């Protein structure tokens, strides 16, 4: 009886689905396509199965976004390869693909199938943007040294086998790969239209230099890369993010990057590491947005004379200093305001602090940051907003806020918060 009841419910569900499909199929194709592109390609395909009249619609979508969840990736990889081939091979060459985005697992046969399908589409159709996110079968936590090497080799072979696809790629995200010394330059030379590149736990041999030279790259994101140094020569580069580097010496060298406007650096700090902004930004005077995440008890940038920094920070408009150490001495950050007269927004986040405690005194030795204080005549005309997370009512914070407000003659808003994600502990001013 239980089985029969379940079968009846399943039959009713199918009847309802068929009725919905029948009603949808009566809508104009333009309207249906507009609806389907809002739900993602996989859901669109599932929806179109409900009606014979709708089954042709996935091949008419202007945006094909196939991004399975992590839990479905490995199981669906072969099906995805077949689905991508069917959609792209049955498409009219008169229809433009505004965006093609595919997330798939690095398995040789499926990758080759996807690459060949995309390469053929690029040769026969108009494709504005094409993105690959390549996921390895194993999480990096479970990867051995041999696994990283194997994944790097498999991906390099994939690129060599499907050069037509990679030649038209505009965005590439990779993870858990260790390449040979010439592999990354070969990948970059193949991906001639590449605008965005993301590495997660990738390198080209432990503690070796990565030199990135590309004519069209706009964005680079590197997280947990075991590179000794990353050198950039990209004339169109606008955004750079580097999260957790392993070496004390020059982790990042900005060569020819005249359009770099947003720079984000995050690290826990190494024993002998101190970066000088004047050296880092010597060839990047167009930076407007600077984000520094310290994540430790060590401040790994060195306060410098504002007169030295001023030529390099003239266009800086937004400064975000995250996870400053708990000892609460944030006055040193004023040197950035002194050197950057165009800054409009300054945000500071202090980690859990215990001002006056014994632990603070210990930490202060590790974060002893000295800077040349400005005179009482220093004025800043453009700072309009000061935000502080981790605020406490103590002398350090209050003196800092008072000094900032005295210098920022046109400030409009001061926001003081307990912690990020929590309520404000003092109203905006």
| In the predicted structure, residue 109 carries a pLDDT above the cut 50 | yes
What gap in Å lies between CA 130 and CA 378, rounded to an integer?
50
Rounded CA-CA distance 83/100 in Å is 13
CA distances from 309 to 276, 279, 282, 291, 293 (A): 10, 10, 9, 17, 20
First to last CA, the chain: 70
Tell me the per-residue pLDDT of 19-65, one tens digit each, with 9 for 90 and over: 555 566 667 778 888 888 888 888 888 878 777 777 888 888 999 99
Confidence of residue 369 (pLDDT cuts 50, 70, 90): low
d(CA 138, CA 107): 11
- Which of the residue ranges 19-28, 140-149, 411-420 would you say has the lowest mean pLDDT? 19-28
Stated pTM of the model: 0.86
Q: How many CB atoms lie within 10 A of CB 201?
A: 21
Give the integer Cα–Cα distance in Å for 136 and 130: 20
**Residue 69 Cα distances to 30, 135, 184, angstroms:** 28, 11, 28
- Compare 256 and 12 and report the one with higher pLDDT: 256
Coil vs helix vs strand at 206: coil
Q: What are phi and psi of 140, to 5 degrees?
A: -60, -30
pLDDT tens string 216-248: 999 999 999 889 999 999 999 999 999 999 887
Confidence check: pLDDT of 272 > 90: no
Q: How far are the Cα atoms of 223, 255, 312, 356 from residue 247, in angstroms, in the given order?
A: 14, 19, 25, 33
Q: What is the pLDDT of residue 428?
A: 43
């Amino acid at each position: 009886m239980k089985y029969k009841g379940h079968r009846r419910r399943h039959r009713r569900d199918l009847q309802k689905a068929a009725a919905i499909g029948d009603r949808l199929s009566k809508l104009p194709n333009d309207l249906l396509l507009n609806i389907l592109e809002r739900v993602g390609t996989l859901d669109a395909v599932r929806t179109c199965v409900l009606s014979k009249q709708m089954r042709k619609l996935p091949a008419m979508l202007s945006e094909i976004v196939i991004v399975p969840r992590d839990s479905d990736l490995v199981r669906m990889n072969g099906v995805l390869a077949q689905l991508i081939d069917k959609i792209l091979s049955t498409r009219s060459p008169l229809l433009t693909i505004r965006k093609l985005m595919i997330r798939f697992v690095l398995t040789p046969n499926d990758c080759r199938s996807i690459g060949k399908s995309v390469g053929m589409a690029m040769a026969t159709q108009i494709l504005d943007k094409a993105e690959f996110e390549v996921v390895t079968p194993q999480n990096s936590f479970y990867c051995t040294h041999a696994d990283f090497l194997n994944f790097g080799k498999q991906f390099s072979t994939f690129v060599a086998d499907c050069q037509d696809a990679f030649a038209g790629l505009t965005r590439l995200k990779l993870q858990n790969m260790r390449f040979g010394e010439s592999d990354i330059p070969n990948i970059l030379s193949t991906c001639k239209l590449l605008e965005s590149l993301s590495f997660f736990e990738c390198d080209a041999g432990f503690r070796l230099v990565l030199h990135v030279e590309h004519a069209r790259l706009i964005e680079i994101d590197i997280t947990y890369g075991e590179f000794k140094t990353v050198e950039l020569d990209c004339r169109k580069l606008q955004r750079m993010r580097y999260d957790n580097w392993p070496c004390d010496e020059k982790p990042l060298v900005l060569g020819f990057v005249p359009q770099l406007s947003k720079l984000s650096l995050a690290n826990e700090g190494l024993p002998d590491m101190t970066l000088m902004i004047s050296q880092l930004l010597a060839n990047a005077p167009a930076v407007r947005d600077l984000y520094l995440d310290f994540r430790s008890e060590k401040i790994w940038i060195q306060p410098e004379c504002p007169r030295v920094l001023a030529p390099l920070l003239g266009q800086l408009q937004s400064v975000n200093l995250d996870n400053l150490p708990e000892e609460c001495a944030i006055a040193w950050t004023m040197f950035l305001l002194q050197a950057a007269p165009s800054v409009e927004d300054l945000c500071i986040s202090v980690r859990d602090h215990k001002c006056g405690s014994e632990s603070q005194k210990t930490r202060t030795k590790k974060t002893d940051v000295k800077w040349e204080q400005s005179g009482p005549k220093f004025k800043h005309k453009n700072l309009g907003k000061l935000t502080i997370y981790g605020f406490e009512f103590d002398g350090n914070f209050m003196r800092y806020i008072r000094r900032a407000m005295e210098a920022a003659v046109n400030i409009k808003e001061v926001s003081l918060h307990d912690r990020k994600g929590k309520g404000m502990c003092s109203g905006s001013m």
